[in-house]
Structure 1
Amino acid sequence: MFLKILLLLLLLPLAANADDASAWQALKDGNAMLLMRHTHAPGNGVATAVILNDCSTQRNLDEQGKREAGDWGERLRRHGITEARVYSSQFCRALETARLLNVGEVEPAPALNSFFLTRERRSAQTEQLKQFITGLEPGLPIVMISHQVNISALTSRFPAAGEALILAFPLTGRPEVLASIRP
C-alpha cells in the first residue's frame, strides 16, 4: 500500500505538467486566454486618491515586480507565445507589468481596472469584463493583466501577485481554469 501511495505522489507532478502543457497549447491555439494579476507592487489595495494617469498616486512595481514581469515574458516566449494581444487595467502597476512582458502592444481596458474601492461595482464590472472578452475576435493569443479583486470575482480564485490563470473559451458561467501558474 505504501508503495502505491508513493508512486502516486511521484506521478502527480507529471500529470500536472501534462495538464499545463495542454493549457499552454490551448492558449497558443486561441482556445484559451491568460489572465494575470499584476506582478509585485508593495502594499495592499488602492489608495483613495488614485489618479489613473498619475503613477505617483498609486502603488507601483518594485524591482522584484519588474523582474517578475520580465520573467513572465520569457516564460511566454518559451511556450511559443512571442506575439500576443495584450490588454491591461489602466492602473500603472498593471500597465507596467503588461509592457515588461514584451509580447505585444498594450491596450488599456477599463473592464480590467480594480474595483477595490467600489465593491458595489463588482457584479456589473465582472459582467462588463466577460462581455469584453466575449467580443474579442479570434487571432493572436490573449494576455490580460488585472487585479486580485477582479480575478477573484470572475474565477473565485485568490491569485498571488504575478500569478496567472489560463481560462478556457468560451467564458460561460464560472470560467474553466485550465492552469494556475505562479510567478
Structure 2
Amino acid sequence: MRYLLAGLLALLIGPAGALDLRDGDVVLYRHALAPGGGDPPGFRAGDCSTQRNLSDAGRAQARQLGDALRGRLGALPVGAVWASPWCRTLDTARLAFPGQRVQPQAAFASFFQQPGDEPAVLAQARQQLANWRGPGVLVVVTHQVNITGLTGIFPASGEGVALRWTAGNGQVLGRLDPPATR
C-alpha cells in the first residue's frame, strides 16, 4: 500500500528531473549529512563547537547538491541563498553555492528542541517566502522540521523540495533527490 501511494504521488508531482522551475520559485534543502539528531546539551547558535556539524560525507554531499541544482536550472540563476543560522546549514549552503552570498535567516532556524516556537517560526518563514519574487530561484538551506512544517514532506539529508508561492501559499512542485554519498 505504501508503495502504491508513493507511486501515485510521483505521478501527480512528476519526476524530479521534470521539475519546471521558474523565476521566483523556491527550493528548500535539508542540510547535508550531519551525524546524530537534534543538538547536544550546551548548544549555542553562534558556536560551531557546540553543534552537530557536517561529516566528511556531508561536506561532499553539499558540494554535489549545488552542482546538481545548477545543472537542473540551466540558464535560470540562483537569485539568493538563505540559510538557518546553524553551522550545518550555513556550511551546506556555502559549500553548495560557492561565490554566492549566504544570508542567515532566523525564520529558518530549527525549532526541534523548542516545539512551542513552531507556529511563530513557520509564520515568519511563510511570510519571507511569499515575498520572494526573484530574479532567479531562491535556495533556502534549513532543517527537516522546518521543511516538514512548511510542506508536509519529511526530507532526507541533502534533499530538496521545490515550491512556487502564489496567493500566499506554497505549492509543492516536486522533490530533488539528495546526492548519493560515498
TM-score (norm 2): 0.82
Partner of 2:46: 53
Q: Does 1:93 align with 2:88?
A: yes
More helix by share: 1
Partner of 1:181: 176
**Which runs of 5 or more residues in structure 1 are unaligned?**
1-11
C-alpha distance in structure 1 between counterparts of 2:23 and 2:36, whole Å: 35
| 2:109 aligned to which of 93, 108, 113 | 113
Deviation, 1:20, is 3.2
Question: Could you tell me whether the CA contact under 8 Å between 2:30 and 2:156 is conserved in 1?
Answer: yes
- The alignment partner of 1:138 has SS state of coil
Partner of 1:140: 136
- The alignment partner of 2:57 has SS state of helix
C-alpha distance in structure 2 between counterparts of 1:75 and 1:131, whole Å: 28
Structure 1 residue runs of 4 or more that deviate by more than 4 Å after TM superposition: 15-19
Question: Could you tell me whether the CA contact under 8 Å between 2:26 and 2:163 is conserved in 1?
Answer: yes
C-alpha distance in structure 1 between counterparts of 2:147 and 2:87, whole Å: 17
**CA deviations over 1:89-145 (Å, ceiling 9, x no partner):** 000000000001125210000001100111001111111100111223431210000
Q: Does 1:42 align with 2:42?
A: no
Which structure has the larger Rg?
A: 1
| 1:156 aligned to which of 142, 152, 159 | 152
Amino acid of the structure 2 residue aligned with 1:147: H
Q: CA RMSD in A?
A: 2.3
**Which runs of 5 or more residues in structure 2 are unaligned?**
1-7
Partner of 1:130: 126
Deviation, 1:172, is 3.7
| 1:168 aligned to which of 147, 153, 164 | 164
CA spacing shift, 1:118–1:140, aligned 2, 3 Å: same
Alignment coverage as a number of residue pairs: 167
The alignment-based identity, stated in percent, is 34
CA spacing shift, 1:18–1:126, aligned 2, 3 Å: closer
